[in-house]
Amino acid sequence: MAEMRKPIPVEEAIDHVWKHRLNGEVASVSIGDCDNRRLAEDIIANHAVPPFPKSPYDGFAFRAEDTQGANRNNPVTFEIVEHIGAGQVPGKSLHKGEATRIMTGAKIPEGADCVAMFEVCQTYEKDNHSYMSIKRTMDSGQNIIQEGSEVAEGEKLIDKGTMINPGVKALLATFGYSHVKVAKKPVIGVIATGTELLDVDEELKPGKIRNSNAYMITSQIIRAGAEYKYFGKLEDELEASYETIKQALADVDILITTGGVSVGDFDLMPAIYEKLGANVLFNKVAMRPGSVTTVAVHGNKILYGLSGNPSACYVGFELFVRPVVQHCLFNKNAFLRRIQAILADDFPKPNPFTRFVRSYLMYENGKVNVKLAGIDKSNVVTSLAYSTSLMVLPGGTRGFNAGDEVEVMLLDDEKGQSEFQL
């Protein structure tokens, strides 16, 4: 007799998994290898930026008070006592009537409190001395980039969990982070089950299909920011499958199997969970596709039994695996971000359960429209290539019409959100 399974709501299933989420670990990597990793600590400014007052222009630095009364008919003259470039340290303090020729980015000399651009000054030589004159009054602080005007020492610059992009990397270099503390990537094992599966380079045979799920899942793992170990495919034989899964668990943080979670004669995963002594959190979810998605825990490891149907497998990963990975990576917004969009196609199929429809977005006349990516069946693989979102259609008996407003979960969005709620 087939096992009777009671489906639980999607939110409840996700909550079960979330309660067993793994804690993230920290790794230290070279700044050259930190791209697209998530920070494992807040980045604090260990010095001010700029660390000294500097000039924004090529020009002359001097005392503003010495220009009082200067105008077109009454130029003020300064003796040029030093010439400094960016990276050089002024050697002289300025006194009344003295100026320093200064380049962009150079430190303001002691005694100076303003900078005049070259274009507003006149220079000349007299008796082997250099002079400059200016026909305008300057204010104290004018044309000076003050110390700490961009960042104060001790200021928090970047939050833990932030993805390291080129701008973040520039800040890390600015503050001397030759090595960076990042979230350690969790390792996810992948096993495809089913005697019907062929390797990707094998010729098709009657009754056989190529193993697409393993390649799809490993790609989803990479996109989520984790690492994977592929343990191959298993035939429908209990003892051999049990031993492979038992050994794989020792090498990974999370284990994903695809297929074998239904109630058919050759669906062995329920028996393997029992033989392992794993605690099954749920084995049926009120959703389409992927209602047979099963999740169990064994010690501190999570075992995901995803459907053998490609689209159901894909959706199961995004809903249940991805958030756990993001939590391990210290991402505060672990769940897929949701937005509202206008349905561009009719979807007459009734929904007894919540349905996650493969879709993509189009932007027209200032509105966000969502279109079906292809045939909406759990065994269909072609629609996945065009999917950039999952349209969320609540359970009920009616279908949906073009023009209806629907909720959409974004697959390729870094922002995410902090909780899952339908």
Q: What is the pLDDT of residues 54-99, one digit of tens each?
A: 999 999 999 999 999 999 999 999 999 999 998 999 999 999 999 9
Q: What is the pLDDT of residues 364-410, one digit of tens each?
A: 888 999 999 988 877 788 889 999 999 999 988 688 999 999 999 99
pLDDT score for 219: 96
Considering the segment(s) 10-23+185-328 as one domain, its CATH architecture is 3-Layer(aba) Sandwich (3.40)
pLDDT of 109 > 50? The answer is yes
User: Residues 384, 385, 389, 393: what is their CA dihedral angle, to the nearest 10 degrees?
Assistant: -30
Paired tokens of 395: 């359970």
Element (H, E) at 83: strand 76-84
8-22, 70-84, 315-329, 406-420: least confidently modelled range: 406-420
Sequence-distant (6+) residues with CB within 8 A of 54 are: 105, 106, 107, 108, 144, 145
Domain residues of the chain, as ranges? 10-23+185-328, 28-47+155-183, 59-134, 338-410
- Write the class of the CATH domain 59-134: mainly beta
Average pLDDT (219-247) is 92
Q: What is the pLDDT of residues 179-226, one digit of tens each?
A: 999 999 999 999 988 777 777 777 888 888 778 889 999 999 999 999
pLDDT score for 203: 86
Angle at 257 between CA 255 and CA 263, to 5 degrees: 135
2 confidence band (pLDDT: 50, 70, 90): very low
pLDDT score for 4: 62
Tell me the pTM: 0.86
pLDDT score for 376: 80
pLDDT score for 263: 54
Considering the segment(s) 338-410 as one domain, its CATH architecture is Beta Barrel (2.40)
pLDDT score for 77: 97
What percent of the chain lies above the pLDDT cut of 70?
Answer: 97
Sequence-distant (6+) residues with CB within 8 A of 421 are: 11
Query: Which SS3 state, helix, strand or coil, does residue 265 take?
Result: coil
Considering the segment(s) 28-47+155-183 as one domain, its CATH architecture is Alpha-Beta Complex (3.90)
pLDDT score for 414: 79
Q: Is the dihedral of CA 114, 118, 119, 120 positive or negative?
A: positive
